[in-house]
Amino acid sequence: MLVIITNNPLIQESFGSTYTVDYEALSYDDILIKIRDAVHRGASILTHPLYGSVKPKETPYRSVLMEMREGPVDMDSLLLIEQTIASAGKFPNKSAGYDEATLNDCKIIDLSLLQGALRSM
């Protein structure tokens, strides 16, 4: 089953009728951990967690398309999410003081990046 794991409410609004969307209002770091936990249960990552030219923590939002299944760990997905978590840990959280307009722009950027990734699949 294909699932979008996200902390961006705009993804739920935009893709909720097309995909299964697992939305939760989590921090950037916590959404990566949620993705890692899904990989530990056997899921595979289909869109790169660091797609686009947006550095980690320059936006509070991240959305990743995954193939959810139970089973053995997909080692490529595990390596990818572990590297993503390590990379994100090197950056300060620049989005903490963003005003509402900037946060809305971040939501739109995340949506646009996911749309592009889905089109290319």
Rg (CA), the chain: 14
pTM of the model: 0.94
Provide, rounded to the nearest whole percent, the portion of the chain with pLDDT above 70.
100
pLDDT tens digits, one per residue of 69-101 = 999 999 999 999 999 999 999 999 988 899 999
Predicted local distance difference test score (pLDDT) of residue 78: 98
Is the predicted pLDDT of residue 121 greater than 90, yes or no? no
**Whether 20 contacts 4, CB under 8 Å:** yes
In eight-state DSSP terms, residue 96 is G
| Section 18-47 average pLDDT | 97
Report the pLDDT value the prediction gives residue 96, as an integer from 0 to 100: 87
Residue 93 CA to residue 77 CA, distance in Å, equals 24
Chain centroid to CA 97: how far? 21
Q: What integer best gives the mean pLDDT of the chain?
A: 95
For residue 54, pLDDT over 90 is answered with no
Using the predicted structure, report yes or no on whether residue 120 has a pLDDT greater than 90.
no
- The sign one gets for the Cα dihedral 66, 46, 39, 85 is negative
**CA torsion sign, 73 to 75 to 24 to 9?**
negative
Share of the chain above pLDDT 90, in %: 86
Half-sphere exposure of 121 (CA within 13 A, CB side): 14
